[in-house]
Structures are given as C-alpha cells and as structure tokens.
Chains A and B, each alone.
Chain A
Amino acid sequence: MSALLERDPRRLFAAVLNLLEAKGLLSEADLAERIALTDAATPGQGARMVARAWVDPTYRALMLADGTRAAEALGIPMRGAPPLGVLENGPGLHHLVVCTLCSCYPRAVLGYPPFWFKSAAYRARAVRDPRGLIAEWGTVLPAGTEIVVVDSTADYRWMVLPLRPAGSEGLDEAALTGLVREGDMIGVTVPAFGR
C-alpha cells in the first residue's frame, strides 16, 4: 500500500479511472457529473429550503416528513445521497446537529462541512454542553429553551429548520433565503433580521 501511495498521484488516478471504465463501473461523464453536483452543493441550497418552508406551510410539512423529497422539489439533486431528515426548531425548542463518530453531514444541501464540525472538541462538547458551545458563536437562546442534540450516527443526514426571525414578516422568499446561514441549519447559530 505504501509503495502505491508513493506513485505520481496523476498517473495513479488515470490508472484507477481506466480500470473503472474498463469494468463499466464509471465513465468520464459520470465523474464530471459528480464533480458538478458536488460543486453545486452549498449552504445556499439548504437556505432555499428553509425560506420556502417559512412562506409555504405545505412545503414545510413535506420538508419535515421527507427532507429528500423536499430538496428534490426545489431541484436539488439527491440521487445517491443518504436520506435527509429535518428537525424543526420552535419557540422553546432548539436542535443542534453533530456527528460524534466521524463527520456525517448533509452535504447535498449544505455542501462541505465547516472545519470545526469535524473537530474532536466540537464533537465531544456538542452532546454534553451544547448551550456553552453555541454561546461561543454568540448564540444565546431565550431562558427555558430546551436543547435537543442530534447525533448523526447512521444512515440519515440531518439539518435544522430554524425559527423565522422576528421582524422578517415583510420579506419575500428571496430576501429570506439571504438571511439563512450555514450555522443556522446546524444549530450553532440562529437567523436574525437587521443584524
């Protein structure tokens, strides 16, 4: 194995790709498609889902029942992605997503995880002291808010549907999309209007 890793990576990549093509497992076109899908997956996709759920109760119900179908309904490609679950925050209820075992993350709708999501410190602290942890993002929840931590341990990927911020009543869907940040859909922050 170590001898293999010492080879020129471009030649190694070409050799593996040739083998996969020869076996009919993967083509250049499949690879290009997968790269395009990966590049298109950003927190902006999840933000579109959140904003739609804030303005459309039917969509919100779909999103909570089946995150994968809700993503697809907005044209977000979910083929080959693990099933997506959505956790709804409410008045007095907050969710925080972590993967204590590794770095499971809803990449199809949020893109690459931020570096700290994979850190041992985040993973260890999130399950035990989420309140102290999110305070480091400046997130202070109203007194009495219950925090439920979601440890993403198996086949699902989880995102948070945050509460629509006070003062945003006059905003349209596009403007609402712009309020939603990556951390709001993990639960380390909450969306705010006029910050």
Chain B
Amino acid sequence: MTPLAPGARVRVRDDWPETRGPVHIRTPHYVRGREGVVVRHLGDFPNPEDLAFAREAAILPLYHVRFAPRRIWPSGVSADGLLVELFGPWLEAQR
C-alpha cells in the first residue's frame, strides 16, 4: 500500500465490522464513509483490532486526518475542524 502524503484526499471506508461479530475498532462511527484530508503520518503501530484479541498484529501506518464537521452533521455544529487518528487500511485515496 502506497503511503499517504500530507494533503492527500481520502475517504474513510463505510464499513461496519461490528455488525459481523466481536471487534475492537478505533475508527469512530461518525467518520465512516466521510471524506477528509491527510495532515500527517504519525508513525506505524500494531493493529489494535488484532491486539485486543491477542492475535498477531500487523504494523499499520497511522495518519492524522482532518474532517470538516459541518459536512458530517447537519446542524448544531460549532467546530471548524476535526482531527482524527486513523489507520491506513480504513482510508481510500480519492482523486
């Protein structure tokens, strides 16, 4: 997988593994299926989705991704930006 550069436009996978069985997910519901921009690569860390079940965990890139809160919620929003740490496999590069 090609590393994502700062400024890259990404879409968070609209995937809901919790509907398929026991999981430990660090991707908040509110960003699934949403578009954001990579701010920076934070480092590489073992996949918490495996660590939580004592499975062998792949080392994954972790990114800080910025979202526009007003594009996530329809009303009552006073945040101008939202920064979320997300693992590479959750992100699809957008053109």
Taking Cβ atoms with an 8 Å cutoff, the residues of A that contact B are 83, 85, 100-101, 127-132, 146-156
In the complex, what's the smallest C-beta–C-beta distance from A35 to chain B, in angstroms?
Answer: 25
How many angstroms from the CA of A100 to the CA of B69 in the assembled complex?
A: 14
- Whether the pair B28, A83 counts as a contact (CB closer than 8 A) is no
- Whether the pair B26, A153 counts as a contact (CB closer than 8 A) is yes
Q: Give the residue name and chain of the A residue nearest to B30 (CB).
A: A127
- Whether the pair A130, B86 counts as a contact (CB closer than 8 A) is no
Q: Give the residue name and chain of the B residue nearest to A146 (CB).
A: B80
Q: How many A-B residue pairs have CB under 8 A?
A: 73
How many angstroms from the CA of A166 to the CA of B20 in the assembled complex?
A: 54
**At the interface, is chain A mostly helix, strand, loop or mixed?**
mixed
**Size of B's binding interface in residues, CB under 8 A:** 24
Q: Is B8 an interface position by the 8 A CB rule?
A: no
- Whether the pair B27, A85 counts as a contact (CB closer than 8 A) is no
How many angstroms from the CA of A191 to the CA of B86 in the assembled complex?
A: 31
Q: Given the complex, which residues of B lie within 8 Å of A156, measured CB to CB? A: 42, 62, 85
Which 10 A-B residue pairings sit nearest by Cβ, starting from the closest? A131-B78, A154-B85, A148-B81, A146-B80, A155-B45, A150-B83, A153-B85, A151-B84, A129-B78, A149-B79
How many angstroms from the CA of A153 to the CA of B36 in the assembled complex?
A: 16
How many angstroms from the CA of A48 to the CA of B30 in the assembled complex?
A: 35
Given contacts A100-B28, A101-B26, contact A155 B42 (CB under 8 A): yes
Q: Give the residue name and chain of the B residue nearest to A100 (CB).
A: B28
Q: Give the residue name and chain of the B residue nearest to A150 (CB).
A: B83
How many angstroms from the CA of A184 to the CA of B23 in the assembled complex?
A: 35
> Of B28, B48, B76, which contacts A128 at CB under 8 A?
B76
- Whether the pair A154, B62 counts as a contact (CB closer than 8 A) is yes
Given contacts A153-B86, A154-B48, A156-B42, contact A147 B28 (CB under 8 A): no
Q: Given the complex, which residues of B lie within 8 Å of A151, measured CB to CB? A: 28, 82-85
How many angstroms from the CA of A160 to the CA of B92 in the assembled complex?
A: 30
> Of B76, B78, B85, B86, which contacts A152 at CB under 8 A?
B85
Considering residues B28, B62, B66, B82, which has the most beta carbons from chain A within 10 angstroms of its beta carbon? B82
> Of B28, B42, B78, which contacts A85 at CB under 8 A?
B42
Q: Given the complex, which residues of B lie within 8 Å of A155, measured CB to CB? A: 42-43, 45, 48, 62, 85
- Whether the pair A130, B85 counts as a contact (CB closer than 8 A) is no
How many angstroms from the CA of A193 to the CA of B69 in the assembled complex?
A: 32
- Whether the pair B45, A101 counts as a contact (CB closer than 8 A) is no
How many angstroms from the CA of A150 to the CA of B62 in the assembled complex?
A: 15
Q: Given the complex, which residues of B lie within 8 Å of A146, measured CB to CB? A: 80-81
In the complex, what's the smallest C-beta–C-beta distance from B41 to chain A, in angstroms?
Answer: 12
In the complex, what's the smallest C-beta–C-beta distance from B75 to chain A, in angstroms?
Answer: 9
Q: Given the complex, which residues of B lie within 8 Å of A83, measured CB to CB? A: 42-43
